[in-house]
A = this chain, B = another copy of it.
């Protein structure tokens, strides 16, 4: 099983499972309340230079409130997992929070277009990049979640994506086939937004998990934001529905609408107008600075951000849209 090809990208984290084991050995397993406010959680668990990953996909179930708070607190020099990072990416890029990125998908907002500020930052030469794919990053989290230094896969073979990754290509000792080895990625800290959590961090996600199952296990520290706190009794009533167990979790922050202006399945649909405003305002540097002040730097918290964008009334409209009630209403 020879190493046949070596990539040129740099690993921003150590894939050594024994170093991770030493960390996890000392992590508390006590079932005690971890409820705190978001700004305290970010202050406590997100540090300059840390490797950060956030949950969700695109602007869906993405912890936007946490991204704002990280920018507001002025974190710098972080590494970031660009795993279909869209609106989260442009927020963090606007704050120049990171200078190293593992890329699967960045700078774009899917069908909505590309983010000028994110592109400019990525084209500045100030950000070190290592290239992966969505499944590649998911695989790296999965390797970490399994406590092994890598898992094999059959993607990125033959491409420049491989050359600019930190993967290796080897020959399979069972079959002789060429395999990509995806090294484990243990983020220092991850933030995942969930539908429901108890005070200990037992949490439920409804709908697609994306790669948050793997991420929640790979991360050394894990902050949950939750649409609502629920009782431990309710968690225990239906253990099949638990998506994330409490012992992975360091902080539980109840932040309603924390994925706004993105979508939270079954709760609220994305605010497409505000997302377009985000993209449009970036064309003018001064306006963008003012926009960031208004929405992030001078905005004390997510409640105020929601208030500035229509508050409960707007959230109700987005809920109607999410539940497709707007169609029934317009037809009714």
Contact = CB atoms under 8 A, between A and B. Distances in A.
B1 A240 contact: no
A153 interface: yes
Interface stretch (A94-102, A175-183, A288-296): A175-183
Nearest to A239: B207
Given A17-B154, A150-B174, 18 more contacts: A1-B3, A1-B170, A3-B173, A15-B174, A16-B175, A146-B151, A147-B154, A149-B152, A149-B174, A149-B177, A149-B179, A150-B173, A151-B152, A152-B152, A168-B173, A168-B174, A170-B173, A240-B241
A247 B240 CA distance: 23
A147 B206 CA distance: 27
A153 B149 contact: no
A6 to B, nearest CB: 9
A13 to B, nearest CB: 11
B173 A15 contact: no
Residue among A15, A149, A168, A179 with max Cβ neighbours from chain B (10 Å): A149
Interface in A205-250: 206-207, 239-241
How many copies of this kind of chain does the complex include?
Answer: 2
A277 interface: no
A127 interface: no
A242 to B, nearest CB: 11
A153 B152 CA distance: 12
The 4 closest A-B pairs by CB, nearest first: A1-B1, A149-B175, A148-B152, A149-B172
22 contacts: A1-B3, A1-B170, A3-B173, A15-B174, A16-B175, A16-B177, A17-B154, A17-B175, A17-B177, A147-B154, A148-B153, A149-B179, A150-B174, A151-B151, A152-B152, A168-B173, A168-B174, A174-B181, A174-B183, A207-B239, A207-B240, A240-B241
Size category of the binding interface on chain A: 20 to 34
Contacts of A150: 152, 172-174
